Chain A
Amino acid sequence: MNGLGTSMQEKLGVQPRKGLRLSDILVTVLVSLVLGVIYHFWGSVYNLLKPLFFEADELLYGMWFAAATLAYLLIRKPGVAIIAEVAAAHVEVLFGSGWGLTLLLYGVIQGLGAELVFAAFRYRSTSAWTLAFAGAGSAVGSMIMDFYYSYTDDLQAWMFFAKYGMRIFSGAIIAGLLMLLLAKALDRTGVTSLLRPASRKDYEALEDPRHV
């Protein structure tokens, strides 16, 4: 079959394109907007935990980092984590919340936290550890923002560690592991095959004589 040394891939002149394409961005943004709506209502779930114990609500904080990790699991290209968090925060602007712009800034820095973790693994790893680290990375990002925004470094030490310990833990569990499960569930529906570029295996399947 391959006597002339031209595979189907070369004949068609198809190269997997690097960088973000419009379809990558559109999928990222739409999925993140859907998550953004969930973020919006998550606020009321979050408030339920408030009376339980002061700052116990931090245990649910990780939900607000979910867009970054889920988008990465779907697209796996540089930049999607930041775009995803910004898009999710944009929902608040659309809903006319006064915190919209503040949340956009939080979105940028939370996305950046996750993005740096993914970059450290060169955008290849989708293991549970990587995702847990990415969720924690977003939490650290939001913590840095908090220093400027609400002086949380001036909290008493035990409060500070309790608050951010819970937030980082929650980032790792909800944004990391829970989103990994969700992405696996999405994989099973088959839609994610739309998002992956055709692999070598797909082209080999085209040349398989049994299909002729």
Chain B
Amino acid sequence: MNIWNPVRITWLHRANPVVKLGLIIGLFFMTVLTHNLDFVMYQAFVFTVCLLVLSGVKPWKMLLFLIPFLLAFISSSSSMMLFGKGDTIWWEWGLFRVSEESFYRGLHLGFKGIAFASEGLLLVTTTSSVDLFYSLMQKLRLAPKYAYSFMASIRLLPMVWEEYVIRRQALKVRGVLPIRGIRGIVSRAGLYVVPLLAQSIRRAHRVAAAMEAKQFDGDGAKSRTYYYPFRYSRYDLLVIGLLAAAACCAYIAAGYFPWFGIGDVRFD
């Protein structure tokens, strides 16, 4: 299931998924714990650039995927701007109260959201779920029963969609007319949700019985062999170096070229 369809294979594709996961979670925590507006703004900028370069996806396509981030920027920052705590009031109307502090905190949240999203996409665009679960099993000793359950379920999901289509056709053939309004939505949900869930439980159970018979749940994760072996390589070091350098760039840029020059955005 690869919706990204990269045109280039970059270092990030070649790095071990576990290393990437660890690295990205590290970057996440860095961004979560950043309370300085300038630093977050540069992070958002630097990692978006990294994403455009390292994802290997065509830049215009990537930019298309970035459009929702702008909407998220507006929605996540507006709530804080209008309702946040603050002392220096700029504008007040009824329940809305925009203060200097809440305004900057809102901006901070917007940039933070973009930084999170581009960090997350760095991993998501370059790693398939199968690769991630295989290397989690091999490098972090994730029990095979979890990894194979996830991988099997991902393959079963399209079948659930097929069943949805069949159900819809069946209801049409039987002449079930949709009811309008709220009651209609509720009754329609009942017509679909229960049979689809029941059928997916049945199917999952059958597949699981077959998988157990073939020892996919075997506990011997140590002595197991794998169809796709995953190793560490020099690309791991390259990627770690590259993203650490990007983070350092953002930090230094925030120190030397601050745009806003305010400290901590949190209240008191």
A2 at interface (Cβ–Cβ under 8 A)?
A: no
**Which A residues are CB-close (under 8 A) to B196?**
34
A182 at interface (Cβ–Cβ under 8 A)?
A: yes
Among the stretches B76-84, B170-178, B232-240, the one at the interface with A is B76-84
Contact of A101 among B28, B84, B150 (CB under 8 A): B28
Q: Give chain A interface residues in 106-134, CB to chain B under 8 Å.
A: none
B200 at interface (Cβ–Cβ under 8 A)?
A: yes
Interface residues in A, total, Cβ within 8 A: 46
A26 touches B211 (CB 8 A): yes
**Which A residues are CB-close (under 8 A) to B265?**
151
**Chain A binding surface, main DSSP class:** helix
How far apart are the CA atoms of A100 and B69 in the complex, in Å? 13
A182 touches B201 (CB 8 A): no
How far apart are the CA atoms of A96 and B208 in the complex, in Å? 27
A33 at interface (Cβ–Cβ under 8 A)?
A: yes
**Which B residues are CB-close (under 8 A) to A186?**
194, 197-198, 201
A26 touches B204 (CB 8 A): yes
Contact of B32 among A28, A148, A185 (CB under 8 A): A148
How far apart are the CA atoms of A153 and B167 in the complex, in Å? 46
Closest to B27 in A: A101
B4 at interface (Cβ–Cβ under 8 A)?
A: yes
How far does the Cβ of A16 sit from chain B's closest Cβ, in whole Å?
A: 16
Closest to A101 in B: B120
Q: Give chain A interface residues in 64-112, CB to chain B under 8 Å.
A: 74, 83, 87, 90, 93-96, 98-102, 105
15 A-B residue pairs with CB within 8 Å = A20-B145, A22-B148, A22-B212, A23-B205, A26-B205, A30-B156, A30-B157, A33-B160, A37-B160, A93-B129, A98-B66, A151-B80, A154-B267, A155-B79, A191-B201
